Amino acid sequence: MDDSGLGAAGVQLLTARGERVEHPDFAISLTDDELRGLLRDMTLVRRLDAEATALQRQGELGLWASCLGQEAAQVGSAHAMAASDYAFPTYREHGVSWVRGVPPLDMLAMLRGVTNGGWDPNRYRCAPSVIVIGNQALHAVGYAMGIQLDGSQDAAIGYFGDGATAQGDVNEAFVFAAVFNAPVVFLCQNNQWAISQPTGRQTRTPLFERAAGFGFPGIRVDGNDVLAVMAVTRHALARARAGEGPTLIEAFTYRMAAHTTSDDPTRYREAVELEAWRQRDPIERLRVHLANEGIVDDSFLEGLQQESETLGELVRAGVRSMPDPEPGAMFDHVYAEWHPEIEAQRDEVDAYLASFVEEGVR
Amino acid sequence: MAGIDGHEPVTMTMAQALNHGLRRALERDAKTVLFGEDIGRLGGVFRVTDGLQKDFGEHRVIDAPLAESGIVGAAVGLAMRGYRPVLEMQFDGFVYPAFDQIVSQVAKLRRRTEGAISLPITIRIPYGGGIGAVEHHSESPEAYFAHTPGLRVLTPSDPQAAFDTIQQAIASDDPVIYLEPKRRYWDKGSVDASADPLDPAMAPYPWRARTLRVGSDVTIVCYGPMVRTCLEAARASGEVSIEVIDLQSLSPVDYDAIVASVERTARLVVVHEASRNAGLGAEIATRISERCFTMLEAPVTRVTGYDVPYPPNRLEEFFLPDLDRVLDGVDRVMSY
């Protein structure tokens, strides 16, 4: 039954072969539409990821951090959230921002180099992706403390990876969340690699077990099982809303691609490992399950394929035609209030550029 | 402290003036929360938050775990939820664990989100030496923060300025590093609380320098703990007429005020406790040389701490600029 390499502690509701199994503590019952929606989201996120990788190879994006293989952990956890909850992602959580409704071109704008962000966080209740490892775990906790002060039923999810668990900020986030009993879920995607370093370089204990030392529950879930991730995240969010405090979820998954497009994983990991994880693919197992159950048919899958093609076209055309900002845009929004230095330097840039126009150079 | 809410000025220490300013901020806006180590029942190690938790509750004046990055990082989330956090770093030398959150997140998140998110966070830091403290308790880290785009840096020099500017800092929608000159916490001064510091018609704009003494021969630019020292030097200077400018805002710096003064005096001495290399004085000297080069009678001179780790307290009197060293700087620009 457990064919995920998780060990006994990993919650699983869908085996790698697409068999639906039950777990004594975690159940999930989704409508056919919801199940098809999960397959659709994971499929489209994978396509977005592939298109972005290709666009980087073509020089259209400066960098891309692929989420290949982690679609279930991201899509499943994000689908567990309510609209009024708030997600705090890293730079790899494209599946999270997708489910939160962030338009795909907004996700790509930072990598295109036209902005340092890309979307209005409050519109999607999804913070800008944080690049400094672990910083956002504290933001999620602080946000959750605000929820608590408001007396609201909302919750926050802080995303991070196995590498980030070595950071002080993540450990401080655990402390603050625990002592304030904050309504926050820590969703750690253990994708086995922090660039070139295996999880064993970050920890001597299973990551989910760390939570006990901080005073709240930790759960390991098969991160390639979208149903299990969704069930476990729903459970953790329900705990948060009920005033029962934080939960650490370790979604046990695998980074199928390089760390980023600048990385070369053949220098540090074996192809055989990759192949083993390919057998546990999150999308294929759901597709098999839904096909066996008669929930998806060929016509649905063909429609999804067509939707993927359309998304690919939109992304390719949209990225290539993304306009560069005006030089003066770098001075926008540095401060909320008047700042004489910024205004003087904005004028300096304008005057400098205008001097070329006067000389006929531009 | 009877009388603070009346119309008569009241004499109080800077620590008390800050306490009253914080109280006003808590009364003004229910979203203002104080967050820091030992600020609740203890009232802070300098008692600046004395009594505030008792009066406003544990949900408004929140004792934090002992983790500075955690305090600042959590404040980012609180601000994103609509709160206006006022943080206390216990001492200057303990802000560095939070440096990453301040520089990478607090300073940049507004720009990153193209104005969608404001971070109205005030980070109070007792700073500077002169109190005979052990290592890490006497530092002047202002240049790190003044160098960081996205932050504002304020430092009061007397109780009235403290009462006014702490409220202005908290009301600002920008993050403010608020440096409190700890050796001046116990200095007393008159505080007029009848004027609302958030009303531009009633209080000085916090980002403007203040000319505290008018003179004609030399301009001294100083801030925070050195203001009292420089005013004492100006009074003791005898024949030389010294103008004293309290910058108050270290980012942005009110260069127009300095230029206007140097256009009259033609001589400038910059005084700060912080180490000299790449300090505020270096930037001010450059700006003044750019804008006042032909009218200067002498090179801009700096009187500062030295480029060494803050010395053990038996030596701090030799490290810190005092009245005699300030006057020595004045002599150098006068005799050039």
Query: Considering only alpha carbons, which residue of chain B is nearest residue A334?
Result: B111
Give me the amino acid identity at A71. Answer: E
- Residue keyed to tokens 């100006």: B234
Backbone angles phi, psi at A68, to 5 degrees: -55, 125
State the pLDDT confidence band at A295, using cuts at 50, 70 and 90: very high
Q: Does the beta carbon of A337 lie under 8 angstroms from any beta carbon of chain B?
A: yes
Residue B233 and residue B131 share a domain: no
pLDDT at B202: 73
Distance CA A105, CA B235 (A): 64
pLDDT at A69: 98
In the DSSP assignment, the letter for residue A86 is: E
Domain finish residue from B160, B191, B222: B191
Indicate whether A1 belongs to any domain. no
- For residue A323, the tally of other CB atoms under 10 A from its CB is 7
| Nearest-CA distance A166 → chain B (Å) | 15
Closest CA to A289 of A10, A28, A5: A28
Q: Does the beta carbon of B41 lie under 8 angstroms from any beta carbon of chain A?
A: no
Residue B279 and residue B164 share a domain: no
- For residue A330, the tally of other CB atoms under 10 A from its CB is 16
State the pLDDT confidence band at B272, using cuts at 50, 70 and 90: very high
- Percent of chain B scoring above 90 in pLDDT: 93
pLDDT at A1: 41
Six token digits for residue A302: 């063909």
> A173: which chain B residues are within 8 Å (Cβ-Cβ)?
70, 73
Counted domains in chain A: 2
In the DSSP assignment, the letter for residue A11 is: B
Indicate whether B201 belongs to any domain. no
Per-residue pLDDT reduced to its tens digit, A240-292: 999 999 999 999 999 999 999 999 999 999 999 999 999 999 999 999 999 99
- Residue keyed to tokens 């944080």: A130
Distant-in-sequence, close-in-space partners of B81: CB < 8 Å, separation ≥ 6:
A142, A143, A145, A146, A147, A149, A150
Q: Supply the mean pLDDT for chain A.
A: 95
Check pLDDT > 50 for residue A103. Answer: yes
Residue B259 and residue B115 share a domain: no
Indicate whether A204 belongs to any domain. yes
Residue B217 and residue B158 share a domain: no
Catalytic residues of A: 255, 259, 268
Closest CA to B265 of B273, B276, B274, B257: B257
pLDDT at A275: 95
Closest CA to B44 of B225, B248, B223, B180: B180
Residue A355 and residue A320 share a domain: no
Question: What is the pLDDT averaged over residues A129-141?
Answer: 97
**Residue B55 to residues A207, B23, B30, B52: CA-CA distances in angstroms?**
42, 9, 13, 5
> A116: which chain B residues are within 8 Å (Cβ-Cβ)?
108, 111-112
Backbone angles phi, psi at B303, to 5 degrees: -120, 110
| Nearest-CA distance B176 → chain A (Å) | 11
Residue B302 and residue B173 share a domain: no
Indicate whether A2 belongs to any domain. no
B59 belongs to the catalytic site: no
Task: Give yes or no for a contact between B192 and B22, defined as CB atoms under 8 angstroms apart.
Answer: no
CATH number at residue B293: 3.40.50.920
When scoring A111, A122, A169 by the number of chain B Cβ atoms within 10 A, the one with the most, hence best to mutate, is: A169
> B residues 106-145 near A, CB within 8 Å?
108-118, 120
Q: Does the beta carbon of A141 lie under 8 angstroms from any beta carbon of chain B?
A: yes
Residue A352 and residue A306 share a domain: no
**Cα first-last separation, chain A:** 68
Residue A200 and residue A186 share a domain: yes
Indicate whether A289 belongs to any domain. yes
Counted domains in chain B: 2
> B149: which chain A residues are within 8 Å (Cβ-Cβ)?
334
Torsion B5-B7-B9-B11 (CA) sign: negative
Residue B27 and residue B112 share a domain: yes
Q: List the single residue in B67, B97, B150 with the smallest CB-CB distance to A334.
A: B150
Q: List the single residue in B70, B111, B172 with the smallest CB-CB distance to A333.
A: B111
Question: What is the pLDDT averaged over residues B12-26?
Answer: 98
Indicate whether B249 belongs to any domain. yes
Question: What is the pLDDT averaged over residues A185-214?
Answer: 96
- Domain range enclosing A126: 14-325
CB contact under 8 A, A173 and B112: no
Per-residue pLDDT reduced to its tens digit, B306-317: 999 999 999 999
Question: What is the pLDDT averaged over residues A24-50?
Answer: 98
∠ CA(A331), CA(A334), CA(A340), 5° rounding?
A: 70
Indicate whether B205 belongs to any domain. no
Task: Give yes or no for a contact between B138 and B319, defined as CB atoms under 8 angstroms apart.
Answer: no
Residue B227 and residue B152 share a domain: no
CB contact under 8 A, A176 and B83: no
State the pLDDT confidence band at B206, using cuts at 50, 70 and 90: confident
> A132: which chain B residues are within 8 Å (Cβ-Cβ)?
100, 104-105
Indicate whether B202 belongs to any domain. no
Indicate whether B196 belongs to any domain. no
Six token digits for residue B328: 């020595």
Q: Supply the mean pLDDT for chain B.
A: 96
Residue B262 and residue B119 share a domain: no
When scoring A136, A145, A159 by the number of chain B Cβ atoms within 10 A, the one with the most, hence best to mutate, is: A145
Domain finish residue from B121, B156, B191: B191
Residue A355 and residue A294 share a domain: no
Question: What is the pLDDT averaged over residues A209-213?
Answer: 97
Query: Considering only alpha carbons, which residue of chain A is nearest residue B62?
Result: A180
Task: Give the lowest-confidence range in A353-362, B48-57, B91-100, B117-126.
Answer: A353-362
Residue B229 and residue B102 share a domain: no
Q: List the single residue in B70, B113, B150 with the smallest CB-CB distance to A121.
A: B113
Peptide bond into A183 cis (omega under 30): no
**pTM recorded for the entire structure:** 0.97
Residue A165 and residue A198 share a domain: yes
**Residue B253 to residues A219, B143, B152, B305: CA-CA distances in angstroms?**
52, 12, 10, 20
Q: Does the beta carbon of B69 lie under 8 angstroms from any beta carbon of chain A?
A: yes
In the DSSP assignment, the letter for residue A62 is: S
Query: Considering only alpha carbons, which residue of chain B is nearest residue A149?
Result: B59
Q: List the single residue in B33, B70, B172 with the smallest CB-CB distance to A175.
A: B70
> A residues 72-111 near B, CB within 8 Å?
86, 88
- Domain range enclosing B227: 210-335
Per-residue pLDDT reduced to its tens digit, A180-196: 999 999 999 999 999 99
> B101: which chain A residues are within 8 Å (Cβ-Cβ)?
135, 138, 169
Residue B185 and residue B214 share a domain: no
Indicate whether A9 belongs to any domain. no
CB contact under 8 A, A149 and B33: yes
Indicate whether B115 belongs to any domain. yes
Task: Give yes or no for a contact between B185 and B210, defined as CB atoms under 8 angstroms apart.
Answer: no
Per-residue pLDDT reduced to its tens digit, B285-297: 999 999 999 999 9
Query: Considering only alpha carbons, which residue of chain A is nearest residue B173?
Result: A336
- E runs forming strands in B55-209: 61-63, 84-88, 122-127, 152-154, 176-181, 188-191
CB contact under 8 A, A336 and B75: no
> A residues 284-323 near B, CB within 8 Å?
none
Q: List the single residue in B74, B108, B174 with the smallest CB-CB distance to A145.
A: B74
Residue A247 and residue A333 share a domain: no
CB contact under 8 A, A169 and B73: yes
> B residues 246-275 near A, CB within 8 Å?
252-253
Query: Considering only alpha carbons, which residue of chain B is nearest residue A156?
Result: B77
Question: What is the pLDDT averaged over residues B82-106?
Answer: 98
∠ CA(B182), CA(B187), CA(B190), 5° rounding?
A: 130
User: How many CB contacts within 8 angstroms connect chain A with chain B?
Assistant: 139
Q: Does the beta carbon of B177 lie under 8 angstroms from any beta carbon of chain A?
A: no
Residue B215 and residue B182 share a domain: no
Q: Does the beta carbon of A340 lie under 8 angstroms from any beta carbon of chain B?
A: yes
Residue A337 and residue A199 share a domain: no
Question: What is the pLDDT averaged over residues A75-93?
Answer: 98
Check pLDDT > 90 for residue A9. Answer: no
Q: Does the beta carbon of B148 lie under 8 angstroms from any beta carbon of chain A?
A: no
User: Which one of the listed residues B59, B136, B137, B272 is annotated catalytic?
Assistant: B137
Residue A214 and residue A120 share a domain: yes
Indicate whether B198 belongs to any domain. no
CATH number at residue B90: 3.40.50.970
**Helix, coil or strand: residue A110:** helix
Indicate whether A3 belongs to any domain. no
CA torsion, ordered B11, B16, B19, B25, to nearest 10 deg: 20
CATH number at residue A154: 3.40.50.970
Residue B168 and residue B22 share a domain: yes
pLDDT at B3: 55
pLDDT at A358: 67
Distance CA B120, CA B111 (A): 14
Check pLDDT > 60 for residue A3. Answer: no
Residue A334 and residue A250 share a domain: no
Indicate whether B307 belongs to any domain. yes
CB contact under 8 A, B81 and A146: yes
Distance CA A138, CA A173 (A): 5
Six token digits for residue A223: 């991160």
